[in-house]
């Protein structure tokens, strides 16, 4: 089932970081994202990905299972310290249930099999974006509630109650 145009075009440009040393993976995902609001940023190594993350936030990171200087678990560990971490999707030619379970159990978002199926890529990336938005709203509501509680507490102290 093809992804709906609404899922492909979130309304604002959305940055997706692809971390893989394989140029053909970059080209394949770029073809899938062409004509949409998804903007593909490219990194070949963990070091490149971390340098990108320090200068430009990507809501979604699509990462090869193995990289020249580490792997998806290394990046996931680095992203855990972020207040709003990106959803990490792992790619592999051997995407099996074992890898999928490991990714989910360690806090990743999903697994994409290679070669990439355009409909599956659109589905997984769109759902990852919606999940990221949900977490962003929860975080924003929590910060608003926390600020309101501080203002209320300050007003109570100032009123002498």
Q: Give the CATH number of the domain where residue 126 resides.
A: 3.40.50.2300
Is 90 within the bounds of a domain?
Answer: yes
pLDDT band of 4, cuts 50, 70, 90 = very low
Q: Tell me, what's the pLDDT at 145? A: 59
- Does residue 17 register a pLDDT over 50? yes
Is 126 within the bounds of a domain?
Answer: yes
The answer to whether the beta carbons of residues 93 and 114 sit under 8 Å apart is yes
pLDDT tens profile 49-80: 999 988 888 999 999 999 999 999 999 999 99
Q: In terms of DSSP bridges, do strands 14-19 and 38-43 run parallel, antiparallel, or are they unpaired?
A: parallel
What distance in Å separates the CA atoms of residue 155 and residue 30, rounded to the nearest whole number? 53
Q: Can you give the residue range of the structural domain that contains 84?
A: 10-159
Is 3 within the bounds of a domain?
Answer: no
Tell me the percentage of the chain whose pLDDT exceeds 70: 83
Closest CA to 39 of 76, 9, 64: 9
Is 15 within the bounds of a domain?
Answer: yes
What distance in Å separates the CA atoms of residue 44 and residue 63, rounded to the nearest whole number? 10
The reported pTM is 0.82
What are the φ/ψ torsions at residue 93 (nearest 5 degrees)? -75, -20
- Does residue 3 register a pLDDT over 50? no
pLDDT tens profile 93-131: 998 999 999 999 999 999 999 999 999 999 999 999 999
Q: How many domains does the chain have?
A: 1
Q: Choose between 83 and 27: higher pLDDT.
A: 27
Is 5 within the bounds of a domain?
Answer: no
Is 4 within the bounds of a domain?
Answer: no
Is 60 within the bounds of a domain?
Answer: yes
Is 1 within the bounds of a domain?
Answer: no
């Amino acid at each position: 089932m093809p992804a709906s145009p609404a899922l492909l075009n979130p309304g604002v440009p959305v940055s997706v970081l692809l971390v893989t040393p394989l140029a053909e993976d970059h080209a394949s995902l770029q073809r899938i994202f062409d004509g949409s609001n998804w903007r593909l940023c490219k990194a070949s190594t963990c070091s490149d990905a971390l340098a990108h993350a320090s200068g430009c936030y990507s809501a979604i990171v699509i990462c090869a299972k193995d990289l020249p200087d580490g792997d998806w678990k290394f990046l996931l560990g680095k992203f855990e310290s972020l207040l709003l971490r990106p959803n990490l999707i792992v790619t592999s030619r051997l995407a099996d249930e074992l890898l999928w379970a490991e990714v989910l159990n360690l806090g990743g978002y999903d697994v994409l099999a290679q070669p990439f199926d355009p409909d599956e890529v659109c589905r997984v990336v769109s759902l990852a974006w919606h999940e990221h938005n949900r977490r962003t709203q929860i975080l924003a509501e929590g910060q608003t509630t926390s600020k309101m509680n501080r203002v209320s507490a300050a007003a109570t102290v100032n009123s002498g109650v």
